[in-house]
Amino acid sequence: MSSPTRSGAPQPALERKIGPLQATAINMTQMCGIGPFVTIPAMVATMGGPQAMFGWIIGAIVALADGLIWAELGAAMPGAGGTYLYLREAFQYRTGRLMPFLFVWSAVLFIPLIMSTGIIGLVQYLGYLIPGVTDAAGTTPLGKIIGVGITLVIVAALFRKIGQIGKLTTVLFVVMLIAVLTTVVAAFTHFSGAQAFAFTPGAFSSAGEGTFWGGLGAGLVIAIYDYLGYNTSAYLGGEVRDPGRTLPRSILFSIVGIMSLYFLLQVGVLGSVPLEELKTATSVASTVLEQAWGTVTAKIVTVFIVVAAIGSVFAGLLGGSRVPFEAARDKVFLPMFGKLHPKLNLPTAGVLTMGAITIIGSLFTLTDVINAAVATLVIIQSLAQVAAIWTLRRRQPGLKRPYRQWLYPLPTLLALVGWVYIYVSASWLSIGLSLGWMVLGALAYLVYASAENTWPFGPKEIKEAFAADPEGAQA
């Protein structure tokens, strides 16, 4: 599929090849990956005991509320880049191109940082299979080298047509399901309900850092990190068939499906691994599998877990690489990000840049990267989209909305409260770094705006692209 240029010559364009099953598989593959396998111990330690299981439920409620925002915006404005399009349309009236620029500026950082956590986690599980990859202090130099090599393989695998990628992602999705469900079954083969539901005395009281409420904020940072990815299909909106139906369904189905898997996994692990051992475990799924079926089976399923982690990073970089594409085409970001591979029709610069940042992020510790990525994401994506859905309802009432948010504005308000709470619960270092990155982005925008003679140095360009031509926008 190609679109004409001013000279009449065709130029490469994104192709709508992703169907409902593939879109849901992409989301769920990116959501799960290595996340719960490495963060369940941290969740239990943070929230003080088995009450951590409720942290996953509260996190899912926030994700569902936010998912309803994504569903409406994605169905109405289906194109490459997701949030970039929504912020471009919503904020053009007052601040010109500032907000979409800041989003792309930040997304090029936080998306690959989230992917680097997948690399860090899969290396932890490789430590169960390969001696010398990890030690008591964490990942060894050998482990870091292996992580870099795996990232390079993933980037190379992304250089293929989107139709082939959709099929590959479906296979990776099946591998992820096998890994999670096998671990759940293994946990319940020697499950102790008394152990799983032995809540810490006074866990739900209102005082104390060791209580459920005292650890909820930090626990939600972990939980929401594990749910991230339900929006990947929206990033690929320009390559999804029938986006008005496919995007909302893929988002909502993936959240509900992953919530169910996470809850079963958390309860199963709590009932099969002693609490103190669980809090410090580095490859808890391998421990569960070994207890149930022995070392050989544990190693086989651990391989599946590593492959699921690779699939998560693959799906995340697939969607994330499309974010700066549309911005570059609009001349809101560096022009090189707007060029497609002449044969494969993929944004080459986006894939390579995000792959490089993923490699850099994989050299740091898991907790630090999670906090930095989530804090940056919340301030410029999640909170901005809450404002965007309100603004577009008011500014563009005639915008074609194949899906309208249920019970609007209650889910939007719930998402707002949840995201603010998660943001202030991140580490102070992460909050400071996220704000500093925004300041640097604002300065970079001023340089760009001055060169382009746009707001605040020139007139604002108001173009309601999807409201003016909704059919053409979805073609």
pLDDT (tens digit, 9 = 90+) per residue, 54-92? 999 999 999 999 999 999 999 999 988 899 999 999 999
Nearest to 158 by CA among 289, 8, 348, 299: 348
- Contacts of residue 48, Cβ cutoff 8 Å, sequence gap at least 6: 200, 203, 210, 211, 212, 214, 215
For residues 315 and 250, the answer to whether their CB atoms sit within 8 Å is no
For residues 273 and 194, the answer to whether their CB atoms sit within 8 Å is no
Residue position matching structure tokens 């290595």: 34
Burial class (CB in 10 A: 0-12, 13-18, 19+), 398: exposed
pLDDT in tens, 8-66: 455 567 788 899 999 999 999 888 878 888 889 888 888 888 998 999 999 999 999 99
pLDDT of residue 474: 42
Burial class (CB in 10 A: 0-12, 13-18, 19+), 280: exposed
| Residues of the chain under the 70 pLDDT cut | 1-12, 206-211, 468-475
Q: Is 131 helix (H, G, I), strand (E, B) or coil?
A: coil
The C-alpha atoms of residue 244 and residue 210 are separated, in whole angstroms, by 45
Identity of the residue numbered 314: F
- Contacts of residue 211, Cβ cutoff 8 Å, sequence gap at least 6: 48, 200, 202, 203, 204, 205
In this structure, what are the phi and psi dihedrals at residue 397, rounded to the nearest 5 degrees? Answer: -65, -25
The C-alpha atoms of residue 400 and residue 448 are separated, in whole angstroms, by 32
Q: What is the DSSP letter of 139?
A: E
pLDDT of residue 416: 97
Give me 384's structure tokens: 């901005």
The C-alpha atoms of residue 222 and residue 227 are separated, in whole angstroms, by 9
Omega of the bond prior to 4 within 30 degrees of 0, cis?
no
pLDDT of residue 367: 82
Q: Are strands 134-135 and 10-12 parallel, antiparallel or unpaired?
A: unpaired
**Sign of the CA dihedral 145, 149, 151, 152?**
positive
Using CA atoms, how far residue 313 sits from 134, 144, 347, in Å, is 20, 16, 17
Q: pTM above the 0.85 mark?
A: yes
pLDDT of residue 472: 41
Q: Is 419 helix (H, G, I), strand (E, B) or coil?
A: helix
In this structure, what are the phi and psi dihedrals at residue 400, rounded to the nearest 5 degrees? Answer: -65, 120
Distance between the two ends of the chain, CA-based, in angstroms?
11
